[in-house]
Structure 1
């Protein structure tokens, strides 16, 4: 896990640094000293065709200044205004990790949105930011370029509905407008027009300032699962069993939660299977996963409620699990646990089978908490 900086950053301090009226002045000296990840932006180059203003640090400051001058941003509630402000500060924080000089002389930064969301999540976790506030901010960073090209996609209406469950469409459009204004390029007007058309698409889809309203939970799960699913279709809900899928870093308290809330349920536990097979957490996990899937299928064939207990901290890993459960028509509830960093370390040390710090650090870098669209119910603890 990331070691706390000597300069301690707290969520309250982040809120205090958000500009207020009537001056709306940004304290760049204080902000740029918070994290070393920001200082690296000043030496990260950008493609001059899209960013003639220069390095990522210059672009970031231009975006933030454009945001702070926007009456739409100024009129937001305090917490929303703070959320968008810090999203703008951190929106390109992933670029230094992925920026490349291509053979044709161009500069690319493919994947920087996803990487940036991961970096921001870790920074804000250590700052003690509230989970919902933090994840809303990371959602903006992960999808901040979407309004630029939404209308060019084959089915922009469907993508608008999907996006409304990943971040606030009205907020991401406010950010995108500032992102367009905070750069020097030939096609700035075209970008702003695309953002305006994206806003109209979200409004026409019925999800401008809230997630699209599906008829029920199964309708939502099926829509994200099936490419051509009608979002307005009211799916029949009849499930043979309900499966609780645990999610959280080692030491998060999954076993404790299960003992308290699902004491009567059988548990498919990767830790338990590793113990039975003599496989450590750092060994190849193929045999462990195969044995777990065999247990899962046995419960599903018997239409038996049970708990799947594993870290499941990346969307890709959860997707493998969820696809198997969906094949049997099960109702799925994800339970995600996330203690504070110091509490996590303490709880892991106190376990009889404590996981090496290196393993936790590796998982923490890839952490993608479950989103509300992933299952019939997502319980965030």
Structure 2
């Protein structure tokens, strides 16, 4: 999905459209034309058993109106109120891409939360929204259905703790309540009760209003790695070395950050290895990855601090690198570098090994900035 370099929607536009006291009026005439992704919702069907109100656009407007009418939303801080409002506007923006008519006559939209979070991230990146505000919003979208079924899971307390590091649980439940009210269905009361029980579960886990407090950084990382890990266990922190893992789109400025902040560290660079092997970024990367892992192992065995420099823009790609580093007892810090779309393309064009725009567009659609639970430390540069 290509976007113009000059944004047609700005973050200030978004803030100006958040309803305010005393009328709390939603300006749909100004909101709905902002992005074509919203208009598409009006022709996206939904299963009538769960959404007798009709299309996803109708549902979205009902959810937003229910949220804005909620005194708990009205009493939030301006920042929390604004990002939760836009999370409600965009919460089902992923439905058109995944909606299917099943053989049994039902309509499904599996995976729409994850897809919607990705679409919202792209829209808000082009709007120049602050990264923290944007990612808080995307966290709500990615997990907006969780309060409906949290208590049905085998270990709801553990899932509550995990979720508290991905989005703010009290705001997630506030959105879920509006999501339940913004629909016509026979089980609406049951959905609202499940949401209330989810809120109680977050409260019991001591993470309703904040991320669960682990004893230290290693306790947090180990908890997300091991399914049977006690969240209250204080892990021993004795690392053999520290590895800086870079993350960011091509042209974001990762090399510049390394030269300024880790000038004396050896660097395992996938770009340099590709050059040595005479391969391009579009060739098969198996040989490149194998060579990078071997060089990393040499530094890890020696207990040497070093930098792993690659795009690492998806959680799946990062997880493979992080697994290797943790197997050798390294402390990991992830440095995520982000710039605006126009600056990214300008910096990429000025590189001697500029990446094709099509590749950047592809990576942008897959982008998942690192979250605080992925490593002992996350450094954001934007």
* TM-score when normalising by structure 1: 0.99
Change (3 A) 1:113 1:379: same
Change (3 A) 1:258 1:331: same
1:339 maps to what in 2? 339
Shift, 1:3, TM fit: 1.5
Is residue 241–residue 305 contact of structure 2 (8 Å, CA) maintained in 1? yes
1:245 maps to what in 2? 245
Within 5 A, what are the aligned runs for 1:1-381?
2-4=2-4, 8-381=8-381
Return 5+ residue gaps in structure 2 as ranges. none
Question: What whole-Å deviation, never above 9, does each CA across 1:186-244 have from its counterpart, x for those lacking one?
Answer: 10000000000000000110101110000000000000010010000000000000000
Distance in structure 2 (CA, Å) of the matches to 1:2 and 1:327: 39
Distance in structure 1 (CA, Å) of the matches to 2:354 and 2:91: 35
Shift, 1:4, TM fit: 2.4
Distance in structure 2 (CA, Å) of the matches to 1:363 and 1:299: 29
Shift, 1:2, TM fit: 2.5
Question: What is the DSSP-based 3-state SS (H/G/I as helix, E as strand, rest coil) of the residue aligned with 2:289?
Answer: helix
Distance in structure 1 (CA, Å) of the matches to 2:337 and 2:142: 22
Distance in structure 2 (CA, Å) of the matches to 1:275 and 1:208: 49
Distance in structure 1 (CA, Å) of the matches to 2:197 and 2:109: 25
Distance in structure 2 (CA, Å) of the matches to 1:366 and 1:50: 30
Shift, 1:6, TM fit: 8.1
Question: What whole-Å deviation, never above 9, does each CA across 1:145-170 have from its counterpart, x for those lacking one?
Answer: 00000000000000000000000000
Shift, 1:368, TM fit: 0.2
Is residue 6–residue 342 contact of structure 2 (8 Å, CA) maintained in 1? no
Distance in structure 2 (CA, Å) of the matches to 1:3 and 1:54: 30
Is residue 5–residue 342 contact of structure 2 (8 Å, CA) maintained in 1? no
Question: What whole-Å deviation, never above 9, does each CA across 1:111-140 have from its counterpart, x for those lacking one?
Answer: 000000000000000101000000000000
Change (3 A) 1:7 1:211: closer
Is residue 19–residue 68 contact of structure 2 (8 Å, CA) maintained in 1? yes
Shift, 1:93, TM fit: 0.1
Shift, 1:7, TM fit: 7.5
Is residue 156–residue 201 contact of structure 1 (8 Å, CA) maintained in 2? yes
Is residue 2–residue 122 contact of structure 1 (8 Å, CA) maintained in 2? no
* TM-score when normalising by structure 2: 0.99
Question: What whole-Å deviation, never above 9, does each CA across 1:356-381 have from its counterpart, x for those lacking one?
Answer: 11111110000000001100000010
Is residue 118–residue 365 contact of structure 1 (8 Å, CA) maintained in 2? yes
Distance in structure 1 (CA, Å) of the matches to 2:4 and 2:278: 35
Give the ranges of 4+ consecutive aligned residues of structure 1 lying more than 4 Å apart after TM superposition.
none
Distance in structure 1 (CA, Å) of the matches to 2:162 and 2:25: 35
Question: What is the DSSP-based 3-state SS (H/G/I as helix, E as strand, rest coil) of the residue aligned with 2:316?
Answer: helix
Distance in structure 2 (CA, Å) of the matches to 1:5 and 1:342: 5
Shift, 1:22, TM fit: 1.4
Shift, 1:100, TM fit: 0.4
Question: What is the DSSP-based 3-state SS (H/G/I as helix, E as strand, rest coil) of the residue aligned with 1:258?
Answer: helix
Is residue 113–residue 143 contact of structure 1 (8 Å, CA) maintained in 2? yes
RMSD between superposed Cα atoms in Å = 0.9
Distance in structure 1 (CA, Å) of the matches to 2:242 and 2:350: 31
Question: What is the DSSP-based 3-state SS (H/G/I as helix, E as strand, rest coil) of the residue aligned with 2:42?
Answer: helix
User: Number of residue pairs matched?
Assistant: 381
Is residue 147–residue 173 contact of structure 1 (8 Å, CA) maintained in 2? yes
Distance in structure 1 (CA, Å) of the matches to 2:140 and 2:2: 23
Shift, 1:5, TM fit: 8.5
Question: What whole-Å deviation, never above 9, does each CA across 1:75-98 have from its counterpart, x for those lacking one?
Answer: 001111011100000000000000
Greater displacement, 178-187 / 2-11? 2-11
Change (3 A) 1:255 1:106: same
